[in-house]
Amino acid sequence: MTAYLLRRLGYALVILLGVNLLTFFLFFTVNTPDDMARLNIGGKRVTQEQIDKWKAERGYDRPLVWNAAEPGTAKFTRTVLWERSISLLALQFGRSDSARSVDIGHEVKTRMWVSLQLALPLFVLQLIASIGFSLLLVWFRHSALDFWGVVLCVVMLSISSLFYIIVGQFLFSRVLRLVPISGYAPGLDAVRFLLLPVALSLLSRLGGEARLYRAMFLEEIGKDYVRTARAKGLSELRVLGRHVLRNALIPIITSAGSYLPYVFLGSLVFESFFGIPGLGAFVIEAISGQDFAIVRTMVFLSALLYIASNLVIDLAYGWVDPRVRLA
């Protein structure tokens, strides 16, 4: 186990460096530091002195990738790529490139809790609703309820999440006036603003998840251990709950674990449409403002969370199924 963890941590370090390097090159292929300075300073008559001052304040006056020593000297200054890569690995995110120059670390810590208020209830409710609905379809398999349940799942997963958002805001906010159409308030008042996005996000994901879990449960239903359990006189409820569900936990863990990064990073679409100041909205604002410091940080955190979630999934495999050995 120790050797496995050390090997995975080594892979993680290489992946994080590669992701940071690729993000760096892609961003500066599109925008030069001068272009970023003109965009953030604003105005059509930006002087070269203003551009140089902006670059010096944010460290872009140094070489981006490679710095060759001057002839006859052995002095090398740190490049932007080297300095930013080391800072990210140390979880020091610095300040944004925008005119506000906000502390990225502080913004991430503050907005993360807002995203958690949206994503954590959604994660739990989605897992319960998807498993419960799929088990109900399996219970009534080969019946009219199963048929129309599958049709409903296909219809739900075929509809874009934007449709749910537009219809939900119009119906529940403008017509019925049950919840605010957008916005956010701290404390217990946040429930009023988060209720609709959580419900719509759950509805948009329920069809695909329930259809996937139903297929997995039906595959387990036909196996020998299920027939043996029925032959011993166990009820269908105990067969589904204690045997089928337990043996289908590995694909369920895989599906649920892939959603874990979104629990911390938030939902880009729902936070933007509902005006929720979470990490998802933070990313959208940074992309629209071409703030490379924030984009680089969020891409790095996304990669870090995906690596961590995959490691947790692998460890959970061994806990759920003793036959799984991590080597």
Q: Whole-angstrom Cα distance, residue 106 to residue 93? A: 9
Q: What pLDDT score was predicted for residue 66?
A: 63
pLDDT category, 133, cuts 50, 70, 90? very high
Highest mean pLDDT among 21-25, 151-155, 291-295: 151-155
Q: Which of 317, 228, 302 is nearest to 265 (CA)?
A: 302
CA distances (Å), origin 19, targets 32, 88, 93, 283: 19, 11, 16, 17
What is the per-residue pLDDT for 76? 47
Per DSSP, 103 falls in state B
**SS3 (DSSP) at 37:** helix
CATH topology of domain 104-320: MetI-like fold (1.10.3720)
Q: Where are the domains of the chain?
A: 2-89, 104-320
pLDDT digits (tens, 9 = 90+) for 261-295: 777 776 788 888 888 888 888 888 888 777 888 88
